[in-house]
Amino acid sequence: SDESLAVLALSETLVAYVARRLGPRPWDYVSERAQFLSKELGISYSETLSLFRRHLCLLTQDTNRLQRVLSLLREGQVPQDAILRDLWVFRHNENLMESRLKRAQKVGLLPMRPWMLRCPEETFEAHLRRWEARADALWPHTDTVTYLAERLNCSRGHIRFLTQKNPRLLTIN
């Protein structure tokens, strides 16, 4: 079956590790975990099975821990495609992720990206400072398009047209 292939495709050492973590018939557990993650991550069952080969922690971690991390990611409005590109976020400290999420929400830094939850503290702090400086520069406007439309005395539609040609216009430093 596909479930047993997902486990048996691993190296002998990893198969032994999975068997120690999940029991002598780990493929019985693989199906349940793959269905759960397939639903949560919005990908097909077969794609989920292939993730197990590259990110074994998705298979061996406690389901409750995976649910808590997914809950934090949803609370931070992290897009599903960003989660799929950075699955290492599941290996990081939940308490640190929760703390960073609260700090980001406090300054309005949403949606978040997985790297923000797992990067070095100084990187996160620098990003928060840049975000706050950007918000101060835009105030009382909530977004760059509205700010530019008012400053250039033109419509938001015209600004969107200009930014399609030159996306760097939306970068405020």
CA 148 to CA 162: how far, in whole Å? 11
Percent of the chain with pLDDT over 90: 44
Give the confidence band of 1 by pLDDT, cuts at 50, 70, 90: low
Q: In this predicted structure, what is the pLDDT of residue 5?
A: 59
pLDDT 10s digits, 108-134: 899 999 999 999 999 999 999 988 888
Q: In this predicted structure, what is the pLDDT of residue 9?
A: 61
Interval 71-98 mean pLDDT: 94
Residue with more model confidence, 117 or 28: 117
Q: In this predicted structure, what is the pLDDT of residue 41?
A: 94
Residue with more model confidence, 109 or 28: 109
| Beta-carbon count within 10 A of 16 CB | 11
Interval 94-101 mean pLDDT: 96
Contact 169, 148 (CB under 8 A): yes
Interval 22-39 mean pLDDT: 79
